[in-house]
Amino acid sequence: MSVPPTGPDSHGEPLAGPDERDGRHARLIGWWEAERRDLPWRRTREPWLVLVSEVMLQQTQVDRVLPYFETFAERWPTPEQCAEAELADVLAAWQGLGYPRRARNLWQTAAIISERHGGWMPADLDGLLALPGVGPYTARAVQAFAFGIDTGVVDTNVGRILARWQGRRLSPKEAQHIADELVPAGESWAWNQAMMDLGAQVCTKRDPCCGRCPAQPWCGWGSVVVGSEPSSQPDPADRSAGVSTRQAPFEGSDRQARGRLLAVLSGGPLPTALAAAAMRFERDEARAQRLVEELIAEGLVTAAGDQLRLGAAR
């Protein structure tokens, strides 16, 4: 399938021409201004709250994050307030959102910001990447959405869009380069939000709505459609950079068992002897013991005498 010149070729040529790029920017942002999602974290540029939202959104659907973000932002609106809290309280507030390491990382990050940065979030990429649990995506999201820095933010939606626009799988380096090149100067916040909404609402993983996509004219995968049907060509986003893969089943997993124990501990201490029952592993004491030891090593649980407690001692 022929692919329109939407990205750098093997010789590193720039993405389209200035006039063409301006037209694409105007078309996509114009679509977004009419279709944008009203999300609470888009109403703030406070770096700490932007970071909180991005950490919560890691591997988690927007609808699940909404009530947690609003509660967290009201309770700990600054890193100083979060750093002063007990980890057990932060973990309890996180209960049900999944991946509790994220809560621990935020709590640790709050302390670092308060103690080493005078309460100010670093804006440079290296400074952000040095924070616990902050990877390349999250760091660039904070740069774009809190500081307005012109950088491409490649989450799973954007990774999927870029691969489809190019009509081929992309390496992480290629995807980031293309994302950076596409950002209109001074419009990083709006452009990256538009890309994410396009992926969430139109250029979806399953059943993409190519017929109503504002980017269809320059998309290497969906440029030829019949009615509203997407291209019959294999989806180039499969296994491309940034695009999420299918997770292992949750039912019966270690994640589920760990979550059960943390949920019980959020209500208070638990005798260690009852941990296996809390995880519903009464017939697999060895597995239960292994998970308890992992939670202790990660600082999510403390063993005090013959009891387990949520969080770690300071």
293 catalytic, yes or no? no
- Type of residue found at 258: R
The answer as to whether 127 is a domain residue is: yes
Active-site position among 46, 54, 80, 285: 54
Region at 132 (left for phi over 0; alpha for psi -120 to 50; beta for the rest): beta
The answer as to whether 162 is a domain residue is: no
Domain extent, residue 140, equals 46-147
CATH of the domain at 302: 1.10.10.10
Q: Which pLDDT value is given to residue 80?
A: 97
Q: Which pLDDT value is given to residue 255?
A: 87
One-letter-per-residue 3-state SS of 234-250? CCCCCCCCCCCCCCCCC
Number of structural domains in the chain: 2
pLDDT tens by residue, the chain, 314 residues: 333 334 444 333 346 677 788 889 999 999 999 999 999 999 999 999 999 999 999 989 999 999 999 999 999 999 999 999 999 999 999 999 999 999 999 999 999 999 999 999 999 999 999 999 999 999 999 999 999 999 999 999 999 999 999 999 999 999 999 999 999 999 999 999 999 999 999 999 988 998 899 999 899 887 654 445 555 678 888 877 766 555 567 777 888 899 999 989 988 999 999 999 999 999 899 999 999 999 999 999 999 889 999 987 65
CB count in 10 Å sphere of residue 234: 9
Q: Which pLDDT value is given to residue 165?
A: 93
The answer as to whether 195 is a domain residue is: no
The answer as to whether 97 is a domain residue is: yes
Domain boundary, last residue among 125, 147, 169: 147
End-to-end CA distance of the chain: 59
The answer as to whether 69 is a domain residue is: yes
CB count in 10 Å sphere of residue 8: 15
How far is Cα 160 from Cα 272, in angstroms, rounded to an integer? 45
Domain boundary, last residue among 93, 128, 147: 147
Q: Which pLDDT value is given to residue 138?
A: 96
Q: Which of 108, 152, 172 is nearest to 134 (CA)?
A: 108
Q: Which of 82, 88, 146, 87 is nearest to 111 (CA)?
A: 82
Q: Which pLDDT value is given to residue 279?
A: 92
The answer as to whether 202 is a domain residue is: no
Domain boundary, last residue among 94, 123, 147: 147
CATH of the domain at 107: 1.10.340.30
The answer as to whether 6 is a domain residue is: no
| 144 within 8 A of 188, measured Cβ to Cβ | yes
